[in-house]
Structure 1
Amino acid sequence: MEFIKSWFIDGANKTGCRFIVIDSYNEERSLRYHSKNGFAALFSTEEQEKEFTGLTEDTVLTSRLMYFDLIVLTKS
């Protein structure tokens, strides 16, 4: 995970990325892993995510969108 983050901020990488967005399994272990690695939920609730993505209220989310802001690495 650290390699991926550092690759995006390397001077030789010209992708111009600021955020890494992932689709994490909506399971406690997976969400905890990504949270420990600095990722945050893109939506504060599952209901918000369902509304934004056009899913019905009764849909069970099997994944959650999460992001990491690479700007925090450039300030270190």
Structure 2
Amino acid sequence: KVNRRRGRFVPKPREKKNVVLTSDLHQLAENARIVWGETGYVVMLTKAYTGMRLGEMFGLRREFCHPYWPASDPDAER
């Protein structure tokens, strides 16, 4: 049996990423506003522009989004 992978490593070519237009993202967010309200609109835009995964979006809470979060945390235990 001949091993054809011997020699210098050559990585597989990566797939080209799709470019999504801002107008398409805005339309997606507007559709989410109709279905889920203002929250859906904000979630779709935040997810599109930050690249967050769904679990990260669920974990994102207002009290952790303040620019001075560590200093302004009301609960010192966290």
Q: Shorter-chain TM-score: what band?
A: under 0.3
In proportion to residue count, which structure has more strand?
1
Whose relative contact order is higher, 1 or 2, with alpha carbons under 8 Å and at least 6 apart? 1
TM-score, normalised by the number of residues in structure 1: 0.23
Give 1 or 2 for the bigger CA radius of gyration: 2
In proportion to residue count, which structure has more helix?
2
